[in-house]
Amino acid sequence: MTEQQQLNYERIAGAIQYMSSHFKEQPTLEDIARHIHLSPFHFQKLFTEWAGTSPKKFMQYLSIEYAKKLLKNQAPRLSDAAYETGLSGSSRLHDLFISIEGMTPAEYRDGGKNLLIQYSFAACPFGNILTASTAKGICHLSFYEDQQQEALSALKKRFPLAAFAECVNSMHTQALQVFSHKPSILPDIKLHLKGSPFQLKVWQALLQIPMGGLSTYGRLAGEIENPAAARAVGTAIGSNPVAFLIPCHRVIQASGIIGGYMWGRERKTAILGWEAAHTEPVP
């Protein structure tokens, strides 16, 4: 990410944080622009380029009432939800199917022994991102702030006995296409995940939540036919190793409050607003 891209993202994040905290007051364009030290004209232009919608419309997507409406209108079973998502109104983002192939017990026990993991650093609309893959699929995708080494250390901690090589491969390129604003036919993206059977079950359920949709911890527990396990579901969500592709950001509290996120509440809010902006039908 260039210095200018990083500065723009920080400005957008600051604006979103301000809107999240003050949406009940309905701040004006001038109020928000003043908070991030930009003119209203430049703020409107920068924000619209990033989100694909106006700051005013985006603020509506951040409100608790909007979240409650989405939850209320969600299909009774998440597995019934359509994967096809409207993009820019007339175009459609074709089905993105993500298949999970869990590691064998031996691979899990051995901490990635005999695995070669290729990793690369890139920038996306929500900041810096580290993507990693084995020969079988994407095994790790995480947001990070400034220190690449810290992000890489966290990855190596998950696979202490694996071999690592910095390399941009086709899996990484395909995975990062999900952040594109342009309609495209995305290829199948395979995941190679390290997790317990319960975690894999929760992560599979997360994949059923369509872009622009929301769920709650309790609803997700019901989806995996374990309605008393809402807290355990939350723990499994917090252990998700693949940001965005496994959309743990689409799970919020039943009250409509956004709630926490491994990579920062502001980033979660930004992602949800961005997705809503790109899936809301054009009137």
The residue among 67, 76, 17, 16 whose CA lies nearest residue 256 is: 67
**CA 59, CA 67: separation in Å to the nearest integer?**
12
Active site residues: 248
Structure tokens at 190: 């395979």
Residue 12 near residue 47 (C-beta atoms within 8 A) = yes
Nearest to 15 by CA among 41, 34, 42: 34
| DSSP-H helix ranges across 36-138 | 40-51, 55-62, 64-73, 105-109
Mark out the alpha helices in the chain (DSSP H runs).
3-22, 29-35, 40-51, 55-62, 64-73, 105-109, 148-158, 170-176, 197-206, 217-223, 230-238, 265-279
